[in-house]
Chain A
């Protein structure tokens, strides 16, 4: 028994084990206490995530479980970003669900989902990848429908479920073909087949590769496969939407990075031109469609598609530079989206439940701090200099230019200019328009909205905003925090 434990190098999976353990504890505590006297499940969940985060610094790098998983600095950093984002989201969950009975379930599901992220970023075997993607997705389907009194939330859950199940069916079919092409399910056949001077991959290998990649592109909402993103982001509870914007993206990007040749490192031109086209279509279509949205959550959904397009550019860069730029981008992106969706969570109950952009008018007068926080997140999403979004785009585009892909870098810059219109329009609505009539009887003071919300959401929002600012002012320091 002990020799098996040693041989399996089980310590590499310690963070995932801690997270799963705490999720089970939360479920047990919820089962044996009444809802009214339940302790705060989020604090238990955040404790578990903090332990997992600390432990991820100390676990050894290397291969574990007989080649099923491999932990390296990239996968560890990606997982740390997901864990930190999960902690912030759990801080917002209490203000979303209030005294509702769903809080322990939501906390446990967030933990299970993060466990799936850990499986996916460390997977070296397709069984692990499959289990990871299901462990990530199944809790997300449930959480999309967590706002039980709202029919739109249930509808979002249905749409997410059907699309997700379809994507995993495609992925499984591709994995079976991969097994037929290679004889086993280890993921290193991708890297071996895309080496320079390797034997050109067979057609059957390509078929499996395309199907598995398609499932990953579904998960991160790249353009031909993006239609579910809008409805799901709009219908889900806002705090859960914040989680959806980054957790599946981190997992899918780093699973894709293991199966896609980076830049010109393979001699083949097909993968490069495919990624070129995907990235261009994703960023352009996302930005074009975001221009005409009236609903702020749909606008942010399109913006997250567009950001996915920018991030896909990282696959055009050979070597580790692109992956590091992608990690930095994902960390900043997670913080910006958590900030924006936290503000939406906090202002939604008192305003239009439909959350049209117009319903934010006069937010700067009624909820000054929240309006400033949202404005910082939107500036950062645009890519304006003092904030993190600028540095993220700067590193990525610099690396793309260095790899010689000038046109796609220009397309990204023009797209950023275009995106300024719809981000800054929200800021304009918040500052220049008069508050709506429904708000006029509300207490008007700069701190309005802060007295009514929980301490934990205040802290989460503050941390997200500070992170966005620090990553813009001192990117090195920020990179050291997320252990790049």
Chain B
């Protein structure tokens, strides 16, 4: 675990030194963002924070699209177009999510996801 972190750190340092980042170092960044988002999704109790965590995951995916497109097939723009679509759809998702949170807050005076326990059986 620590070994892999160290090697990742070394990798990043080497990249900074050479100033021509390799695909791997970009992928490490985007995977780190994805993991942070996943961690936040699983641990946060405030629904708005959960939404922010999901946004992090979506953005890391968009990042990944651009990285893979740039390094694997620079002649096309599939990945970049997908990144733009992700940004647009993520905005729509935030609108829907915040509307749901506001509706819940007006009833419960909280958006703590652990308090959502009316539905069970």
Contacts and interface: CB of A to CB of B under 8 A. Distances in A.
Interface residues of A, number: 43
Nearest to B105: A154
Contact of B85 (A130, A170, A294): A130
B12 interface: no
Majority secondary structure, A binding face: helix
The dominant DSSP class at the B interface is: helix
B95 to A, nearest CB: 9
A180 B121 contact: no
Interface in A404-460: none
Contacts of B76: 183-184
A77 to B, nearest CB: 28
B69 interface: yes
B64 A154 contact: no
Contacts of B69: 179
B82 A145 contact: no
Given A134-B92, A169-B57, A141 B100 contact: yes
B104 A154 contact: yes
A169 B57 CA distance: 6
A303 B99 CA distance: 31
A151 B78 contact: no
B61 A176 contact: yes
B108 A169 contact: no
Given A152-B119, A159-B116, A172 B61 contact: yes
Given A131-B85, A175-B61, A165 B121 contact: no
Which of A142, A166, A230, A294 is the most central at the interface, judged by chain B CB atoms within 10 Å of its CB? A166
Contact of A176 (B37, B54, B65, B96): B65
A175 B82 contact: yes
B86 to A, nearest CB: 6
Nearest to A233: B119
B64 A131 contact: no
Nearest to A162: B50
Interface in A184-236: 184-185, 230-231, 234-235
B81 interface: yes
A231 B64 CA distance: 33
B41 A166 contact: yes
Contact of A165 (B54, B60, B82, B119): B54
B68 A180 contact: yes
Given A130-B85, A162-B47, A175-B82, A294 B118 contact: no
Given A158-B113, A159-B119, A151 B107 contact: yes
A234 B119 contact: yes
Given A148-B103, A165-B97, A169-B57, A176 B68 contact: yes
Contact of B100 (A130, A154, A179): A154
Contacts of A307: none
Contacts of A234: 119, 121
A185 B89 contact: no
A176 B63 CA distance: 9
A177 interface: yes
A235 B113 contact: no
22 contacts: A130-B86, A134-B92, A142-B100, A145-B100, A151-B107, A154-B100, A158-B47, A158-B100, A158-B104, A158-B116, A162-B50, A165-B54, A168-B58, A172-B58, A175-B61, A175-B82, A176-B68, A176-B79, A179-B69, A235-B118, A235-B119, A294-B121
Interface of A: 126-127, 130-131, 134, 138, 141-142, 145, 148, 151-152, 154-159, 161-162, 165-166, 168-170, 172-173, 175-177, 179-180, 183-185, 230-231, 234-235, 293-295, 298
